Amino acid sequence: MNKFPLWKNLLVLVVLVLGMLFALPNLFPEDPAVQIAARDDSALDSAELARVREILAGETLEYRSATLRDGRISVRFDSVDDQLRAADTVRAILNPRTQDYVVALVLAPRLPAWVRTLGLQPMSLGLDLRGGVHFLFEVDMDAAIDQVLRRYQEGISVMLRDERIPRRVRVDGEQVVVTVNSEEDAQRAEALLRRMDDPLQIRRAPDGERPALYLTLSEDQVQERRDFAIQQNTITLRNRVNELGVAEPLVARQGADRIVVQLPGVQDPRQAEVVLGATATLEFRLVDTENDPIEAARRGRAPINTELYYERSGAPVLLSRDIIVTGDQLTNASSGFSEGRPAVFVNLDSQGARRMLQTTQANLGRPMAVLFIEERRNLVEQDGELVEVSETIREVISVATIQGVFSSRFQITGLATTEARDLALLLRAGALAAPIFKVEERTIGPSLGQDNIDRGMQAVVLGFALVVIFMIAYYRVFGLVANLALLTNVVLVVALLSLLQASLTLPGIAGIVLTVGMAVDANVLIFERIREELRNGNSPQAAIAAGYDKAFSSIADANITTLIAAVVLFTFGTGPIKGFAVTLSLGIITSMFTAIIGTRAVINLIYGGRRVQRLSIGGSMVHAPG
């Protein structure tokens, strides 16, 4: 008799039950919803839920339900229009002064309470299925290297000044040039530079009539800086996306110098582009009150140890070259109002706070300025062609007199309300390590995303139906069992996508369609081997056992090689290719299980444990003694 071990039957049953359980949430429809959470990740309470309900009632906005779960408020609506209106209203009323709440647009599935209690979730949908905005940014690696060199320039100048070595330090291309007055000064300077924590490569050569040191980065330092720039920019963009309150975003490195950002549910790319692409940072400097800024602007040259900048009104300002605090030393920033004027409230880290404390103690009554720095890339016409040119914008956004001693907490005024809000968001999310520039933008509407889902489902259903018809017509009862395994295979793929929370994309649907076709390949090999065994005169039970045993190696070899290809696609591919690779890999794993173990368990339930004279497997009905 052709018997199957009990543990294998139980394994099939357990996998089937678990697969159906994890795939179950995908059967429930989704509601457009607004999710409200505290920016500091603290749990919201019933009082805040009641306030949200009052806001919606006051604006006569109808909603399906408003609930509090896991410290977050979720309000469901019947239409996307109501969802968008409610989000704008709640955001405006809850965050009039400080940005204490994150208001996000989400799609909330209508899951029963017992499903939510088990922690089950539907699979997430990619940008091409849900709709939203896709950005591809390129990191300016040359600017990243230039920033490093300018930091070295500033540090070297301060170090040589402390040692009382007359010098002129400048950045020239990809090197820092240190010019001194004498050979003795050159030797002293070189000895100091070689003792730096991360020394540069040093070359001695004259700069005109005076000796000079030429410092360059090594290849390892250049590569390390480039890797840091793109890694830090990826982290910063991810922080900025989180500040935008977008549900299920994707921020990932692509290639050597690019970052892809996908924002599901965002239909207006303007605000997202402004926030993501901005390279804003700040510098706090003392204002030079001893020299005339108007005279410096007329001459086009600033006095020694000062730099000439302009306020937004166009008025010139002379600032000290010494930087008190930079935007990198900010730990938090929020927008609000101070004495009726928009303001940005700033917190500094310990090092910045100590430096600010020392500066304010020593300079009471002197003005201090906030210098806003932003990198932009503009299209300009050169020789009849449009080319992109990088531009650094530096402007003084605030000048205020130091009226008291402060350190870690202070405020910036002189901004418009929207400027204060956006600046606080950028500072809170962190400054970019290098400028980034948009090279691609795509907006996918929710209707197009739904159309992609409908077409993808049609492809899956049509492919599944054609395979079902063929297998039943050609393999009879065995074909029916293969179709059952095929359906189980699709359920298991959906269950794994839901369990792993891997995003399903349009190429991912193509991977499922391909899996539907590949899943029956194993059964075709097995069934043809069973037919061959019957033609050789073996009994039905022996033919079944031999068919599964002898076809296993061929099935394993074919699927393993395909799985290796899928892993390679996932490792080196971009977003759409990764989506295809994920569903293909999961489909291969589940099809191996359903085709080899699942179908044999069902076949043995039908034919095992008894004497069989014939098998309904298509072709000629072979009679055998069993």
Distance in angstroms (rounded) separating the CA atoms of residues 266 and 84: 10
Distance in angstroms (rounded) separating the CA atoms of residues 375 and 392: 5
Residue 621 clears pLDDT 50, i.e. is over it: no
Q: What CATH class is the domain 6-24+446-607? A: mainly alpha
State pLDDT tens for residues 178-228. Answer: 898 888 888 888 888 888 767 788 888 887 788 888 988 888 888 888 888
Domain spans of the chain, in order of start = 6-24+446-607, 29-110, 142-222, 280-421
Residues contacting residue 456 through CB under 8 Å, at least 6 positions apart: 129, 506, 509, 510
Decide whether 29-110 matches 142-222 in CATH topology: yes
State pLDDT tens for residues 61-109. Answer: 888 888 888 788 888 888 878 887 888 788 777 765 555 677 777 777 7
pLDDT at 492: 92
Phi, psi of 48 (to 5 degrees): -70, -35
Whether 356 contacts 406, CB under 8 Å: yes
Mark out the alpha helices in 35-117 (DSSP H runs): 46-58, 80-94, 113-117
pLDDT at 222: 85
pLDDT at 72: 82
DSSP 315-383: -EEEEESS-SEEGGGEEEEEEEEETTEEEEEEEE-HHHHHHHHHHHHH-TTSEEEEEEEEEEEEEEEET
Residue 246 clears pLDDT 80, i.e. is over it: no
Distance in angstroms (rounded) separating the CA atoms of residues 614 and 626: 8
Task: For the chain, state the CA radius of gyration.
Answer: 34
The length of the chain, given as a count of residues: 626
Topology at the third CATH level for domain 280-421: Gyrase A; domain 2 (3.30.1360)
pLDDT at 318: 92
Higher pLDDT, 445 or 470: 470
Joined tokens for residue 2: 């052709």
Distance in angstroms (rounded) separating the CA atoms of residues 179 and 207: 7
Distance in angstroms (rounded) separating the CA atoms of residues 236 and 358: 30
142-222: CATH architecture = 2-Layer Sandwich (3.30)
Residue 341 clears pLDDT 90, i.e. is over it: no
pLDDT at 17: 92
**Count of Cβ atoms closer than 10 Å to residue 376 Cβ:** 14
Q: What CATH class is the domain 29-110? A: alpha beta
| SS3 letters across 377-390 | EEEEEECCEEEEEE
Residues contacting residue 425 through CB under 8 Å, at least 6 positions apart: 99, 240, 243, 275, 335
State pLDDT tens for residues 357-375. Answer: 888 888 888 888 888 877 6
**pLDDT-based confidence at 625, cuts 50/70/90?**
very low
Q: Which of 316-330, 532-546, 548-562, 605-619 is least confident?
A: 605-619
Residue 458 clears pLDDT 70, i.e. is over it: yes
**% of the chain beyond a pLDDT of 90:** 4
Residue 563 clears pLDDT 80, i.e. is over it: yes
Instruction: Read off the pLDDT of each residue in 27-44 and give the average, rounded to a whole number.
Output: 78
For residue 422, which of 288, 271, 554 has the smallest C-alpha distance?
Answer: 271
